[in-house]
Amino acid sequence: GLLELDWRVNLQSPMLLVQACLPYLERGSRPSIVFNSSLCASRGMENTAQYSASKAGVEGLTRALAVELAESGIRVNAVAPGVIDTELNRRAFLSDEAYRQYL
């Protein structure tokens, strides 16, 4: 279901990619990992609980890997782009007022 899809796409896939790429990153001259997070990870938004939880997991993964990989010289960060026109946001912002309140 959707819960499993959110988990696999938003959290499990980044973990598996880091695991696969780590040997190459360790040999890099200025290696860095950048994850895609979401404002939903830290701000409540209607109809987004499972997505928000998976993105909060990405932020936890980012902080943990930043500490674990610091001695290897690998930087780890996450970016959270602003509100983007997606189906998820259309469901969450059922009105212009809800959109303004979120911002």
Catalytically annotated residues: 51
Nearest to 83 by CA among 95, 73, 92: 92
Contact 24, 70 (CB under 8 A): no
Partners of 33 in beta bridges: 76
Q: Are 54 and 7 contacting, i.e. CB atoms less than 8 angstroms apart?
A: yes
- Closest by CA to 2, choosing from 42, 77, 53, is 53
